[in-house]
Structure 1
Amino acid sequence: MALPVTAALLLAGCQRKPAVVTLVRADTAARNDYYISNRAPLVPSQFVKLPAGSIVPGGWIRKYLELQRDGLTGHLGEISAWLEKKDNAWFSGDGTGDHGWEEVPYWLKGYGDLGYELGDKKIIAETKRWLEKVFESQRPDGYFGPAVIPDKAKDSIPDLWPNMIMLWCMQTYYEYSRDPRVIPFMTAYFKWENTIPEDKLLTLYWENSRGGDNLYSIYWLYNRTGEKWLLDLAAKVHRHTADWMQNGNLPNWHNVNVAQCFREPATYYMQTGDSSALKATYADFHLIRNLYGQVPGGMFGADENARPGYSDPRQAVETCGMVEQMASDELLLGITGDPFWADHAEKVAFNTYPAAVMPDFRGLRYLTAPNMIVSDSKNHSPGIQNDGPFLMMNPFSSRCCQHNHAQGWPYYAEHLWMATPDNGLAAMLYNSCKVTARVGKGDSVTLEESTHYPFDEKVKITVHSAGANEFPVYLRIPGWCKGAKIYVNGKALEHSNTPASYTRISRTWQDKDEITLELPMQVSVRRWAENKQSASVNYGPLTFSLQIKEHYEQADSRTSAIGDSKWQKDADATKWPAFEIYPDSKWNYGLELDQADPAKAFTVVKKSWPADDFPFSQQHVPLLIKTKGREIPSWTIDQYGLCDTLPPSPVAVSTPEESLTLIPMGAARLRISAFPVVKGQSQ
Structure 2
Amino acid sequence: MQINQSQASFDNFIASAFVIPDKTFKEPVANKNPLVETPFTPLPLGSIEAKGWLLKQLELQRDGATGYAEDLYSELGTDAAWLGGTAPESDWERPVYYLKGLIPLAYTLKDKDLIATSQKWINAILESQREDGFFGPANDDWWPRMVALYALKDYYEASGDERVLPFMTNYFKYQATHLPTQPLKEWGKMRVGDNIDTVLWLYNHTGDEFLLDLSDLLAGQGYPIADLFNNNKFQDFGDDFHPTHTVNVNEAIKMPAIYYQRSHSKNDRDAFQAGVKNLSNHTQITGMPSGTEMLAGISSTQGVELCAITERMQSNEEAAMILGDPHIGDALEKIAFNSLPGAMDKQIKNHQYYSLTNQVESNYADHGFKQNHSNGMMPSPTSGFACCRFNMHMGWPYLVKNMWAASADGGIGVIAYGPSKVSVMLKDANVTINETTNYPFEDQIKFDITASKKVQFPLKLRIPAWSVNPTVTVNGEPVKAVKAGEYVSIDRKWKSGDEMVLQMPMKLKTTTWVNNSIGIERGPLVYSLQMNESWQVENKPIAEVPGFNASALGFNEYSVKAENPWNYGLLIDRQHPEKSIDVITGPMPENPFEQETTPVKLVAKAKKISTWGKSANNVEAAEPPVGPILSTEPTENIELIPYGAQNLRITYFPEVTESLADTGAAKYEAEQADIFRAEVRTNAAHASGRSYLGGIDFAESYVKFNQVVVPKAGNYNVDIWFANGNGYNASTGKMIVNGEVHSLKYQGTHGWGRFMATKIEVPLNKGTNTIMFMKDQGFYELDYIVVRPLQKKGS
The letter for the 1-side match of 2:244 is W
Where do 1:81-100 residues align within 5 Å?
A: 81-86=74-79, 88-92=80-84, 99-100=90-91
1:522 paired to 2:499: no
The correspondence for 2:345, drawn from 329, 338, 358, is 358
What do the CA deviations read for 1:518-538 (whole angstroms, capped 9, x no partner)? 11111111123xx21111111
My pick for the range that moved more, 410-419 or 273-282, is 273-282
3-state SS, counterpart of residue 419 of structure 1:
strand
1:187 paired to 2:169: yes
Gaps of 5+ in 1: 1-32, 149-157, 560-565
My pick for the range that moved more, 673-682 or 539-548, is 673-682
Where do 1:272-671 residues align within 5 Å?
A: 272-288=263-279, 290-293=280-283, 295-307=284-296, 310-376=297-363, 378-382=364-368, 385-398=371-384, 399-439=386-426, 441-493=427-479, 495-528=480-513, 531-558=514-541, 567=544, 571-575=548-552, 576-594=555-573, 597-610=576-589, 613-640=590-617, 641-671=619-649
Where do 1:187-226 residues align within 5 Å?
A: 187-198=169-180, 200-203=182-185, 205-226=186-207
The structure number with the bigger radius of gyration is: 2
Matching residue of 2:658? 680
The letter for the 1-side match of 2:649 is R
What do the CA deviations read for 1:620-661 (whole angstroms, capped 9, x no partner)? 110011110111111101212211112212123332211111
What do the CA deviations read for 1:462-481 (whole angstroms, capped 9, x no partner)? 11123322222111111111
Where do 1:32-47 residues align within 5 Å?
A: 34-47=27-40
Using a 3 Å threshold, how does the CA distance of structure 1 residues 595 and 134 change in structure 2: closer, same or farther? closer
User: Could you tell me how far apart the structure 1 residues matched to 2:209 and 2:337 are?
Assistant: 41
Matching residue of 2:217? 236
User: Could you tell me how far apart the structure 2 residues matched to 1:98 and 1:324 are?
Assistant: 21
What do the CA deviations read for 1:660-680 (whole angstroms, capped 9, x no partner)? 111111112111111111123
Instruction: Name the TM-score, length of structure 2 as normaliser.
Output: 0.76
User: Could you tell me how far apart the structure 1 residues matched to 2:272 and 2:494 are?
Assistant: 38
Query: More relative contact order in 1 or in 2 (CA 8 Å, sep 6+)?
Result: 1
User: Could you tell me how far apart the structure 2 residues matched to 1:248 and 1:466 are?
Assistant: 50
User: Could you tell me how far apart the structure 2 residues matched to 1:104 and 1:385 are?
Assistant: 23
User: Could you tell me how far apart the structure 2 residues matched to 1:489 and 1:57 are?
Assistant: 24
What do the CA deviations read for 1:211-238 (whole angstroms, capped 9, x no partner)? 1111111111111111111111111111
3-state SS, counterpart of residue 327 of structure 1:
helix
What do the CA deviations read for 1:439-465 (whole angstroms, capped 9, x no partner)? 1x3111111110000111111111112
The 8 Å contact of residues 294 and 370 in structure 2, kept in 1 or not, is answered as no
Deviation at residue 432 of structure 1 after TM alignment: 1.3
Deviation at residue 197 of structure 1 after TM alignment: 4.5
Q: Percent identity?
A: 34
Using a 3 Å threshold, how does the CA distance of structure 1 residues 514 and 571 change in structure 2: closer, same or farther? same
User: Could you tell me how far apart the structure 2 residues matched to 1:334 and 1:467 are?
Assistant: 27
The structure with the greater share of residues assigned to strand is 2
Matching residue of 1:128? 119
Using a 3 Å threshold, how does the CA distance of structure 1 residues 145 and 570 change in structure 2: closer, same or farther? farther
The letter for the 1-side match of 2:233 is N
The 8 Å contact of residues 82 and 567 in structure 1, kept in 2 or not, is answered as no
The 8 Å contact of residues 352 and 666 in structure 1, kept in 2 or not, is answered as yes
User: Could you tell me how far apart the structure 2 residues matched to 1:174 and 1:596 are?
Assistant: 51
User: Could you tell me how far apart the structure 2 residues matched to 1:199 and 1:590 are?
Assistant: 60
What do the CA deviations read for 1:329-353 (whole angstroms, capped 9, x no partner)? 0000111011111101100011111
User: Could you tell me how far apart the structure 1 residues matched to 2:518 and 2:188 are?
Assistant: 39
Using a 3 Å threshold, how does the CA distance of structure 1 residues 260 and 135 change in structure 2: closer, same or farther? same
3-state SS, counterpart of residue 134 of structure 2:
coil
Using a 3 Å threshold, how does the CA distance of structure 1 residues 384 and 625 change in structure 2: closer, same or farther? farther
What is the aligned-residue RMSD (CA, Å)?
A: 2.0
User: Could you tell me how far apart the structure 2 residues matched to 1:351 and 1:605 are?
Assistant: 19
Matching residue of 1:13? none
The 8 Å contact of residues 628 and 660 in structure 2, kept in 1 or not, is answered as no
What do the CA deviations read for 1:357-403 (whole angstroms, capped 9, x no partner)? 11111111100011111112x12332564142111111134411101
1:145 paired to 2:136: yes
1:249 paired to 2:233: yes
What do the CA deviations read for 1:413-455 (whole angstroms, capped 9, x no partner)? 011211111221112211111111111x311111111000011
3-state SS, counterpart of residue 308 of structure 2:
helix
User: Could you tell me how far apart the structure 2 residues matched to 1:527 and 1:382 are?
Assistant: 24
The 8 Å contact of residues 417 and 429 in structure 1, kept in 2 or not, is answered as yes
Using a 3 Å threshold, how does the CA distance of structure 1 residues 63 and 634 change in structure 2: closer, same or farther? same
The letter for the 2-side match of 1:557 is K
The letter for the 1-side match of 2:153 is Q
| Runs of 4+ displaced beyond 3 Å | 95-98, 566-571, 680-683
Instruction: Name the TM-score, length of structure 1 as normaliser.
Output: 0.88
The 8 Å contact of residues 488 and 516 in structure 1, kept in 2 or not, is answered as yes
The 8 Å contact of residues 307 and 388 in structure 2, kept in 1 or not, is answered as yes
Using a 3 Å threshold, how does the CA distance of structure 1 residues 36 and 682 change in structure 2: closer, same or farther? closer
3-state SS, counterpart of residue 191 of structure 1:
helix
Deviation at residue 112 of structure 1 after TM alignment: 1.1
The letter for the 1-side match of 2:500 is I
Deviation at residue 278 of structure 1 after TM alignment: 1.8
User: Could you tell me how far apart the structure 2 residues matched to 1:597 and 1:423 are?
Assistant: 43
The letter for the 2-side match of 1:70 is D
The 8 Å contact of residues 453 and 495 in structure 2, kept in 1 or not, is answered as yes
Matching residue of 1:9? none
User: Could you tell me how far apart the structure 1 residues matched to 2:500 and 2:31 are?
Assistant: 30
The letter for the 2-side match of 1:423 is G
3-state SS, counterpart of residue 67 of structure 2:
helix
